[in-house]
Amino acid sequence: MLEVLAGTFDFKIHLPFHLCRVANILIPFVLIYKNDKVYQILYFWGMSGVFQGLLTPDITNDFPHFHFFRFWIGHNGMIIALVYASVVYGMRPKIESIKRAFIALNIFLLVSIFANLILEANYFWICGKPPVKSLLDYLGPWPWYILAAEFVALLHFILAYIPFYILDRKDRTI
C-alpha cells in the first residue's frame, strides 16, 4: 500500500507471491480467528522459510529505508506471532501437518510460477536467485536449486516439529 502511495508500486516485485508476504497476510487468521488449519501451515512455513529469510535476508536497501524495516518487522513478527499462538493459545503443530504444509508450499510454488510467467517477474526466486547471498547459492544452478530447495524445506519442516515431538513425548511419559 505504501508503494502505491509513494508511486513506486511495481507488479513485478510488490504483489504477494513471495512466501513470507503471503504468510504475513494469513497470520491474522491465526491471531484473531485462532484458525488451527492456517496455523498448521504457517507454523512450518514460518519456522522454516521465514526463519531462513532471517538468516539470509534478501534486502537490498539499508537502514533506515522503509523496505529494511518492512523486511525485519515482517519476518520477526511472523516468528513472534507463531510463538505467541503456540504458547498463549496452546496451538501445536501436528506431525501430519508437515504433509499439509508441504502440499500448500507446492501449490504456492505453482501459483508463483504462473504469476512469474504472466508478469515476467521473479517471485519466490523461481526464475533466478535473489540479488544477495542466500541458501539458494549452495543448492546448485537454476532450475536445480528449486528441486534441492524442496528437500531443504522438508528437512526444515521436520526440524521445526522436533521441539513439539519432544514435548509431546515427555508429556506422555509423565
Q: Residue 35: what pLDDT?
A: 98
The per-residue pLDDT for range 156-169, each reduced to its tens digit, is 999 999 999 998 88
Q: State what percent of residues in the chain have pLDDT above 70.
A: 98
Q: Read off the pLDDT band of 8 (50, 70, 90).
A: confident
C-alpha 91/C-alpha 16 separation (Å) is 26
Asked if pLDDT for residue 54 goes beyond 80, the answer is no
The pLDDT, as a whole number, for residue 58 is 72
In terms of residue numbers, what domain contains 108?
Answer: 2-173
Q: What is the mean pLDDT of residues 63-67?
A: 80
Confidence of residue 1 (pLDDT cuts 50, 70, 90): low
81, 31 in Cβ contact below 8 A?
yes
Q: How many domains does the chain have?
A: 1
Quickly state the pLDDT bin for 174 (edges 50, 70, 90).
low
Question: With left for phi above 0 and alpha for psi between -120 and 50, is residue 120 left, alpha or beta?
Answer: left
**Structure pTM?**
0.90
Please compute the mean of the pLDDT values over residues 15-22 and round it to a whole number: 91
Give residue-wise pLDDT tens across range 92-121.
Answer: 999 999 999 999 999 999 999 999 999 999
Give me the torsion for CA of 96, 97, 100, 103, rounded to 10°: -100
d(CA 121, CA 118) in angstroms, rounded, equals: 8
